[in-house]
Amino acid sequence: MPWILPVARDGVDGLRQTGGITRQDDWIVQADVREPGRVLGHPETRRLVDFTEPVALLVVGVLLLVSDEDRPGELVATYRERLAPGSLLAISHIADEHAAPGVRAEVARLVDACAAADEYVHVRTHEEVLARFEGTRLVEPGLVFLPDWRPDSPAERESAARPLGYGGVAEVG
Ligand SMILES: C[S@@+](CC[C@H](N)C(=O)[O-])C[C@H]1O[C@@H](n2cnc3c(N)ncnc32)[C@H](O)[C@@H]1O
């Protein structure tokens, strides 16, 4: 799987700001992920992605910015249905249900600050994120706190931010 095809609403500048890319790339798909028809039909998507072969769909740090009204479940399903058997679906998502009260208050402040800047962050539960994997088979260790997903060292699991995000990878088809 040699290609990473980034999709960004804000294009190159937005990806640079979030560290998504570090060099000039002219093959980024500038589109809204909530419009799968545009993303999947984009000339660069069609040029670079062979959907008859297994690919990895990385939905990383994105669904937190998709509201329930935009039906994130249907959205992920629409992309997933295009993937060939053997493809992988990775999802990460902000969470706080198992964080200490003080940390949850910090998360709430962050959400409020983002909303004040017209960026709406949606904190979701394990059950809600797990539902995004419908129709797939999660690989071990399943949908877990991010530092618990195959850590390189035990120290990673001691992060204070451990309960603030879930991540999982699943096989499709
Ligand atoms: C938290 S960052 C994560 C970036 C990258 N996936 C990563 O893990 O480093 C969220 C990114 O998604 C972009 N974004 C937010 N809503 C989007 C949408 N509806 N369509 C496309 N990109 C979107 C933001 O502009 C930002 O670049």
Residues of the chain with pLDDT below 70 are 1-4, 10-27
Q: How many CB atoms neighbour CB 122 within 10 A?
A: 16
Instruction: Kindly list the protein residues whose Cβ atom lies closer than 6 A to any atom of ligand 1.
Output: 7-10, 14-15, 18-20, 32-34, 60-62, 65
Asked if residue 153 lies in contact with residue 79, where contact means CB atoms within 8 angstroms, the answer is: no
Between the CA of 9 and the centroid of ligand 1 the distance, in Å, is: 7
* DSSP, res 81: T
Architecture of the domain made up of 59-172? 3-Layer(aba) Sandwich (3.40)
Residues of the chain with CATH 3.40.50.150: 59-172
Give the pLDDT confidence score for residue 86 in this predicted structure.
Answer: 96
Geometric angle at alpha carbon 34, from 29 and 37, rounded to 5°? 65
pLDDT (tens digit per residue) in 16-34: 555 555 555 556 788 899 9
Long-range contacts of 27-33 (CB under 8 A, 24+ apart): 29/5, 31/7, 33/7, 33/9, 33/62, 33/66, 33/75
Give the pLDDT confidence score for residue 29 in this predicted structure.
Answer: 85
Question: Does the predicted model carry a pTM greater than 0.95?
Answer: no
Give the number of the atom of ligand 1 that is nearest the alpha carbon of residue 10. Answer: 25
Q: How many CB atoms neighbour CB 84 within 10 A?
A: 13
Between the CA of 39 and the centroid of ligand 1 the distance, in Å, is: 14
| Helical spans, DSSP H, in 81-125 | 101-116
Between the CA of 111 and the centroid of ligand 1 the distance, in Å, is: 16
Give the pLDDT confidence score for residue 2 in this predicted structure.
Answer: 43
